Structure 1
């Protein structure tokens, strides 16, 4: 009972987690960063996280409209550019513990080398995920070319971010950092080192700090588990202070400025730019390219690397449009071109 009380208090009393609207200019200053929690601690969570939604989920009218309009995939012209999607696999860079490097395997899957650790984000190496066509670009990084995976971070439980066949490839003692409520899913699959975190909580592994932060999204994996587990992004901080923000899956909103205030000096933001059309259906949960650039500015991040495009056809925009739009938005914002890391699938970049 004590542990449940602590979890509930942490989830509901922090100033960042009360009202989902924009923060008041008179809001109290941010508290210090939370001390890292013990790894792999078993915790008890609320039955639902519906109170964390920043927009209501679609009702029957919205679902009926979506089914009626049928705006699920791009038209023939929008799919014609699939052969032109950027794909340039290359070996992972060799880095030391003082260097940060990121390598894009596709979609929201990155190999992040930070503080001497190799961290996978939302690893999806499968050719196909439930409910969508097969991937339109191959995985950019062969699984057998990965070094030892020191940790995995998961943003939420949607199938394009939590892929059971990929995770089965990992040793069961691989440290996993997951949103609140998702530990049970991993424990059923015999993972033994699972750390569940609430928003604004942190844990530490090998000197690298893992902070779980809010996002504008939701969770669902079956017909009966809507918002039963939390969703969010991750801030990874190396021992020397270098910071990488992994947004996971998110719409645009007030959380970005709050994250930037609490974690100043983000060196690189891994930001989703795809799966945004039609806007009336997806704007609450998926950034479009212009919003991704704006979110990066809100974060105060120096650099941005686009993701969540060029891998799976999840919505109706033309497959190459996210790239052209994010480049135009970056230029319009007057940001240095070298700080937009618009990598091909399979490519790497070193800080």
Structure 2
């Protein structure tokens, strides 16, 4: 049976009173409608997908971690299976073949849904359709513990999920011996034309036995990465960082890091290792399909980082986090 989430500051989950909007958390203006039209008119979101067969996919099954092991497996896009502290955690789970507004996924999920063990927790970074997928969430037992940004809880309770905890930036919750810290990001939220910034957005630092894994979700580049690093002076062992959906740059820079910025952000949060994500699954932007990982490798080398600490995983590939 899954363990109930408890906030670290209280033995019970309190009723929360949130602002109607989180627009004051924005650090860049949102794209204007005419800018969206300009990108669509010039084909900014329609790159050549002829290289799709070069995106590496490994479907060798999901390894099972012992109670002391930490194993990460990239399912695709921003979805990881994180096994830590005896828990199985999903980040922004999307197993759907297609999400609204874009063509169907380029690569299959790296882990078959039927290969998953019991899911002990799900963390959601924000409510964009490529990070919060209703068909995938509907496949989960309604007792699954869910951790979400502020004001996103009603989306889950309408679907009868019973163990949902919503947090503000810098707040924490715990399941067993594993801590979950909700941290800031330079991004925004929207599910429809009427709810822009009505729910919060951010990333997660997941802690167990002195080990920390940072899941960035979506973010542009900015000072919040250094702020996260200052909160974890002992360092972060692994950063799960987005490297894709960055072109055209004039349009995407307010929402997404490019690969070089992802490497810089990894350094600023104090992470020794970086695992790439947010590429090779959905066509959301105008760069070449393989450009995100190729440019991440180049930026990592230019920064003088150890090549072994860049986890440019294939879809479905797993890696064990060692000391």
Q: TM-score, normalization: structure 1? A: 0.87
Pair 1:55 & 2:44 matched: no
Q: Partner residue of 1:233?
A: 203
Q: Partner residue of 1:135?
A: 105
Give 1:241 deviation, angstroms: 1.1
Question: Which of 165, 168, 193 is the matching residue for 2:138?
Answer: 168
Q: Partner residue of 2:18?
A: 45
Instruction: Tell me if structure 1 keeps the 8 A contact 2:8–2:174.
Output: no
**What CA RMSD, in Å, does the superposition of the two structures yield over aligned residues?**
1.3
Pair 1:290 & 2:272 matched: no
Between the aligned partners of 2:11 and 2:285, the Cα distance in structure 1 is: 40
Pair 1:269 & 2:239 matched: yes
37 and 314 in structure 1: CA distance in 2 versus 1, 3 angstrom threshold = farther
Between the aligned partners of 1:154 and 1:346, the Cα distance in structure 2 is: 20
Pair 1:259 & 2:259 matched: no
Pair 1:201 & 2:190 matched: no
Q: Which runs of 5+ in 1 are unaligned?
A: 1-33
Give 1:61 deviation, angstroms: 4.0
Give 1:40 deviation, angstroms: 4.7
Between the aligned partners of 1:104 and 1:52, the Cα distance in structure 2 is: 30
120 and 37 in structure 1: CA distance in 2 versus 1, 3 angstrom threshold = farther
Between the aligned partners of 2:177 and 2:94, the Cα distance in structure 1 is: 26
Give 1:243 deviation, angstroms: 0.4
Q: Name the structure where strand makes up a greater proportion of residues.
A: 2
Question: Which of 294, 299, 307 is the matching residue for 1:324?
Answer: 294
SS in structure 2 opposite 1:111? strand
Paired residues, what number? Answer: 314
Q: TM-score, normalization: structure 2? A: 0.95
66 and 342 in structure 1: CA distance in 2 versus 1, 3 angstrom threshold = same
Instruction: Tell me if structure 1 keeps the 8 A contact 2:125–2:202.
Output: yes
Give 1:312 deviation, angstroms: 0.4
Give 1:235 deviation, angstroms: 0.2
Question: Which of 54, 67, 84 is the matching residue for 1:114?
Answer: 84
Instruction: Tell me if structure 2 keeps the 8 A contact 1:39–1:193.
Output: no
Runs (4+) of structure 1 exceeding 2 A deviation are 34-42, 59-70
266 and 37 in structure 1: CA distance in 2 versus 1, 3 angstrom threshold = farther
SS in structure 1 opposite 2:35? helix
Q: Name the structure where helix makes up a greater proportion of residues.
A: 1
Between the aligned partners of 2:117 and 2:31, the Cα distance in structure 1 is: 42
Q: Partner residue of 2:313?
A: 343
